[in-house]
Structure 1
């Protein structure tokens, strides 16, 4: 489908983001099981629940815009980011260094989502979709908070533990 209007672009990006969130629902339990640090494991489990709510919020966005139906597409960017997380799990033994890698992979995901939701908020505002903008803005703030939480875990425990285990 050729995108010709801002409304069509919004629909495409929202559909892509919906696919990304669905992929995360499958990936986050794997990240949680692979985490060694209890606070990191809990962060992944907590974000899984948050992600389920974000999918519901996208459903509410769709309901708030007359005539909007999501397209069935696959977010190839998220597919690649999820694969990076899987590669970390496969290539690094359990422990603080793997946890540092898992945080790096998860923060790439969060930064991607922050960009996606920021763009969607801007487009919703431009298109006059005030309810959608508010709902998408809530998710944007959750993604920023998840990124900040990962940074805190990395800086407070995981990275120092990984550095102490590096044998320097």
Structure 2
């Protein structure tokens, strides 16, 4: 168990949590992409997979700068979010409704990541870890762009999902 005696310790602890979260996402995103019925949503998941791999590499760069290992923490929150998303894949759902559900799952992940990266970015600035702060801000910007993109997808696909409701009645 890690010791959290100072802000640096908490910074490393939270970075390890995010690193594990990104690793879990690299496993989950291909499954979401495969399940997406919308070509646009599928491409969005594939783009996010590439970004997620880059984000993990940025975290590895930060860990090298801190001269510590990224290993040692399991992100239980991401495990839960991934489990929820995986459950959707087993549902008997209308394709448009499934896409809407996948967007919800993806936005939950994005919001978790935005919160986590926002916190560690603040820690980096306070600790004057300028290189880490710069790299973390780059990731925050990507996560916020993906969240906005998912919101745009939702506004389009939720209309299609509603049309599926009307067709069923």
Please state which band the TM-score falls in when normalised by the shorter chain: over 0.9
**How far apart, in 2, do the equivalents of 1:16 and 1:80 lie?**
13
Residue 61 of structure 1: how far off its partner (Å): 1.1
- Stretches of structure 1 that go unaligned for 5 or more consecutive residues are none
Mean Cα deviation higher: 91-100 or 126-135: 91-100
Query: In the TM superposition, what whole-angstrom CA distance separates every residue of 1:106-152 from its partner, at most 9, and x where no partner exists?
Result: 00000000000000100000111000000000000000001011010
Tell me the equivalent position of 1:140: 140
Aligned to 1:27: 28
Alpha-carbon deviation of 1:92?
A: 3.8
* Residue 90 (structure 1) shift: 1.0
Kept after mapping to 1: 8 A contact 2:28/2:82: yes
1:21 and 1:30 mapped to 2: Cα distance?
15
Structure 2, unmatched stretches of 5+, are none
In structure 2, the partner of 1:14 is 15
Q: 5 Å matches for 1:35-54?
A: 35-54=36-55
Asked if the contact 1:15/1:73 (under 8 Å) is kept, the reply is yes
SS at match of 2:63: helix
- Does 1:161 find its partner at 2:164? no
RMSD, aligned α-carbons: 1.1
TM-score when scaled to structure 1?
Answer: 0.95
Contact preservation (8 Å) 2:60, 2:70 = no
Structure 2 SS opposite 1:166: helix
Query: Separation in 1 of the partners of 2:85 and 2:71?
Result: 26
May I ask how many residue pairs the two structures share in their alignment? 166
Q: Which runs of 4+ in 1 moved over 6 A?
A: none
- Alignment-derived partner of residue 72 in structure 1: 72
Number of the residue aligned with 2:57: 56
- Whether 1:85 aligns to 2:77 is no
Deviation for aligned residue 1:94: 5.0
* 1:107 match: 107
Give the SS at the match of 1:144. helix
TM-score (norm 2): 0.94
